[in-house]
Chain A
């Protein structure tokens, strides 16, 4: 133990164990994993292989449904049954060896034919996050898929045969709320500035600034000013390559040239950003179609959080948003003095 008062920054054992994957899917992904309960039907080789890759990163819980006994054939192709276990329930043996991989994972095993469960316990599958099924005859699979479809539980059908195999996914709807987009285009609203942004931008006068201040004006301001000028001449923002090139020339003209001093960095940034920053603000078609669906939803206690938020977003867009999405609020790095950068950040 550390002495009291000494700062302790040691990662917990769990954070250490999961370090390499947290760097891939973050805490957010990890908690989604840890809240999940997976049901596997039939502890075949492909079934246990699938569970292995879920148990290792720390899935919350697993349940194995299997009513057969271990045969010599299983021992030959399934890494998660051993030769001492021939004749014992296959699900139990596999569960035991799989849970050895990760003490954080809970597991249960059901030694009951699937047909019986489907007939007698129609709600059996409702609690599961995902059901994975391997080696199931078609008639039972059809019955199972209907039950899961009605219960909105995703079903993964896995089949392998020698050198070939397939995976099928049955899922009615899958909603993800993830606030970290993979690729980011800056959301600067230069074409449709909101009033606070407009007011701030208009309050700055580039011409009266001294050289130091001038070379530290954030490039968004430069682009905004140039765009105002452009629009007053052309009526609408530059659209194609040719117009953008002309626009760049206009930005260049605003640069102050001084002897023995390198060109102003903020203006160079502005020129580089012309291509990505002047994209007209619009609602991507994918999001628009979600909003269209959301428009017809009446929120109820069973509505998924995703749809409640989509509905709220729809309300925003149609009223105070004036037809566009809320501003993302993050701004890219730029050459600027701290005061102006922070001011823009706070707008």
Chain B
């Protein structure tokens, strides 16, 4: 098999390709193309892992899968399809999550090379750390629509995946979501929170009812509203949304009345909010603005056109009905899923009704799905190009030519040199990186009087810093164990506050993740002035932090002058030779200087040639 490579790869290389042990993480868009390329190039020892099953929306690009495979394990079907081409290849498929303890450092050490074909940052961070710990080179990749990127990571030689801090996901202040939405996304976030309040795991940070403690609403009027509320309910501590819905048997009409009439009336009573804003218009289910115009029983509900408000109500009622049935049937909380019809219908309808109330443009179900599900467009062509580049970089690593490896960006259109694929030199490791440096360190700003040990573990160490099972010790004379990864050892600490353990401004925590073989010193910065709705802020390395603050001060001074030239900047960015993935901030990379000579000549002779 793979006979054609004889004339292309020399004998040594053919042998190292044949004997190399490869781990491919992810059998999705890039993974399918990559597996095909690997068997075509003559790789014969491949392990493939993916926790996902095949969905119908994969079939436009994940060509190893067909409609009959929907619902089956991606890695297993990919293996079968690739073996059809080369039955001699040895492919092991795991239908599993790469973050499981089964796949520890010894597992990673088995491989010559690891290739990431992932679609999320958490898994990328984890594999990055595992490869650093195991000392195995990693080829990292990603695509989004027409854009793509491949890079090589080797401990001590190149930047690791986490050397440059990536901006956190955008969040919105609680008051905007609960009281004063002004954009469609605010209504969509509210609707997703509402879904969890009614059917999913209730998160107190995702409250959807009006927030009487809005800092904008100061003075007597707010107090009056509070008192009025106290009279109605007999208690200022209002019943939870879930409790209310349960006591009314999830009756769609009553729910509608509470969410879109009563709660809006309550918001209107907070009059300070509306001095400079358009007032919301409460809605009643039997007096919907367009109810007259719609023929009864009309089923012209479209995916790509916004629904009318009475259509929204019908969809709302139907979705509440079937979600409630599911909730009762399973006895467990439901999990919101963009590909579940009822979940998606519910969020679209609620978001649009709320948008209408606040005079915000309505969105089609198709668009709401994009925004609520954070969908990144994807096509086979981009994945094929990127998977090809992964193999080319991998071949250089197998030849021991790590110095020749590049970060390669696939652009939407040719850059100023007429290059569509732009190679850039690999960047040296960041000596202050909180993952790959000698002694990783990071600062976190939080309020020790409000932050619980649980928040530290779940939100900071796991969700934000991507640890899997941290052990945390306070750096003091006693070496107090705050969190243990052994089950049951420190559970009684979970609801206690950090200050209960004498953690103050400047306290250091020693955080260790055994699986990732990763130890991080966490510096606590106590602060009572965090922004509304923010529990903590990860600030980066202590020294860099200081530098960044100084630069920011300088910038602030400069921007005061150059403020009104802003509009033209964004148009320049488009043609620049950089690509941002995962909504990362675009970051200037050094373009490979030594461009191949022939390319320059060709360009001079014929401007029509695009280098790819």
Q: Is B146's beta carbon under 8 Å from chain A?
A: yes
Q: Is B565's beta carbon under 8 Å from chain A?
A: yes
| Residues of B282-338 contacting chain A, CB below 8 A | 297, 299, 301, 303-304, 307, 311, 314-315, 318
Determine the distance from Cα of A248 to Cα of B567 in the docked complex, in whole angstroms: 15
Chain B contacts for A49, CB-based, 8 A: 384
Stretch from B59-67, B91-99, B430-438 that touches the partner:
B59-67
9 pairs of residues in contact across A and B, judged by CB atoms under 8 Å: A7-B315, A7-B318, A9-B303, A9-B344, A53-B384, A76-B1, A76-B5, A262-B276, A338-B359
Asked if A20 meets B63 with Cβ closer than 8 Å, knowing A7-B301, A7-B311, A72-B3, the reply is: no
A77 to chain B, nearest CB (A): 4
Q: Is B574's beta carbon under 8 Å from chain A?
A: yes
Pair B567/A272 contact, Cβ less than 8 Å: yes
Pair B60/A58 contact, Cβ less than 8 Å: yes
* Given contact pairs A24-B377, A45-B4, a sample of 13 additional A-B residue pairs in the complex whose CB atoms are under 8 Å apart: A4-B297, A5-B297, A7-B314, A8-B299, A9-B307, A20-B377, A49-B384, A52-B384, A79-B36, A83-B87, A182-B574, A183-B574, A272-B566
Stretch from A11-19, A86-94, A286-294 that touches the partner:
A11-19
Determine the distance from Cα of A198 to Cα of B345 in the docked complex, in whole angstroms: 45
Question: A57: which of B3, B303, B379, B568 is its contact (CB, 8 Å)?
Answer: B379
A84 to chain B, nearest CB (A): 10
Pair A57/B380 contact, Cβ less than 8 Å: yes
Chain A contacts for B87, CB-based, 8 A: 83
Q: A interface, by DSSP: helix, strand, loop or mixed?
A: helix
Q: Looking across the interface, which residue of chain A has its beta carbon closest to that of B65?
A: A101
- Number of A-B residue pairs at CB separation under 8 A: 131
Chain B contacts for A76, CB-based, 8 A: 1-5
Q: What 1/0 mask marks residues of chain A from 203 to 237 whose CB sits below 8 Å from any chain B CB?
A: 00000000000010000000000000000000000
A223 to chain B, nearest CB (A): 14
Determine the distance from Cα of A162 to Cα of B315 in the docked complex, in whole angstroms: 57
Chain B contacts for A24, CB-based, 8 A: 145-146, 377-379
Q: B interface, by DSSP: helix, strand, loop or mixed?
A: helix
Q: Looking across the interface, which residue of chain A has its beta carbon closest to that of B379?
A: A21
Pair B565/A20 contact, Cβ less than 8 Å: no
Question: B378: which of A6, A21, A245 is its contact (CB, 8 Å)?
Answer: A21
The CB with the most chain B CB atoms within 10 A, among A4, A13, A76, A272, is that of A76
Asked if A183 meets B276 with Cβ closer than 8 Å, knowing A18-B60, A20-B375, A162-B8, the reply is: no
In order of increasing CB-CB distance, the 9 nearest A-B pairs are A76-B3, A77-B4, A24-B377, A23-B377, A20-B378, A162-B8, A7-B314, A56-B380, A53-B380
Determine the distance from Cα of A7 to Cα of B317 in the docked complex, in whole angstroms: 10
Determine the distance from Cα of A215 to Cα of B2 in the docked complex, in whole angstroms: 72
Q: Is A138's beta carbon under 8 Å from chain B?
A: no
Determine the distance from Cα of A285 to Cα of B495 in the docked complex, in whole angstroms: 67
Q: What 1/0 mask marks residues of chain B from 267 to 281 whose CB sits below 8 Å from any chain A CB?
A: 000000000101000
A241 to chain B, nearest CB (A): 8
Chain B contacts for A9, CB-based, 8 A: 301, 303, 307, 315, 341, 344-345, 348, 365
Q: What 1/0 mask marks residues of chain A from 15 to 53 whose CB sits below 8 Å from any chain B CB?
A: 111111111100100000000000000000100010011
Q: Looking across the interface, which residue of chain A has its beta carbon closest to that of B59?
A: A17
Asked if A57 meets B60 with Cβ closer than 8 Å, knowing A7-B301, A23-B377, A162-B7, the reply is: yes
Determine the distance from Cα of A248 to Cα of B66 in the docked complex, in whole angstroms: 60
Q: Is B501's beta carbon under 8 Å from chain A?
A: no
Pair B379/A23 contact, Cβ less than 8 Å: no
| Residues of A151-209 contacting chain B, CB below 8 A | 162-163, 167, 182-183
Q: Is B51's beta carbon under 8 Å from chain A?
A: no
Chain A contacts for B311, CB-based, 8 A: 7
Q: Is A275's beta carbon under 8 Å from chain B?
A: yes
Q: Is B559's beta carbon under 8 Å from chain A?
A: no
B77 to chain A, nearest CB (A): 13
Q: Is A271's beta carbon under 8 Å from chain B?
A: yes
Pair A77/B61 contact, Cβ less than 8 Å: no
The CB with the most chain B CB atoms within 10 A, among A13, A75, A265, is that of A75
B485 to chain A, nearest CB (A): 38
Q: Is B56's beta carbon under 8 Å from chain A?
A: yes
Q: Looking across the interface, which residue of chain B has its beta carbon closest to that of A183?
A: B571
Q: Looking across the interface, which residue of chain A has its beta carbon closest to that of B2?
A: A76
Chain A contacts for B344, CB-based, 8 A: 9
Pair A21/B315 contact, Cβ less than 8 Å: no
Determine the distance from Cα of A248 to Cα of B56 in the docked complex, in whole angstroms: 54
Q: Looking across the interface, which residue of chain A has its beta carbon closest to that of B61?
A: A56
Determine the distance from Cα of A276 to Cα of B370 in the docked complex, in whole angstroms: 30
Q: Is B237's beta carbon under 8 Å from chain A?
A: no
A14 to chain B, nearest CB (A): 10
Determine the distance from Cα of A76 to Cα of B87 in the docked complex, in whole angstroms: 12
Asked if A8 meets B301 with Cβ closer than 8 Å, knowing A21-B60, A77-B4, the reply is: yes
Pair B379/A20 contact, Cβ less than 8 Å: yes
Q: What 1/0 mask marks residues of chain A from 72 to 112 whose CB sits below 8 Å from any chain B CB?
A: 11011101001100000000000000001111000000000
Asked if A56 meets B341 with Cβ closer than 8 Å, knowing A8-B301, A20-B375, A73-B4, the reply is: no
Chain A contacts for B571, CB-based, 8 A: 183
Q: Is A334's beta carbon under 8 Å from chain B?
A: no
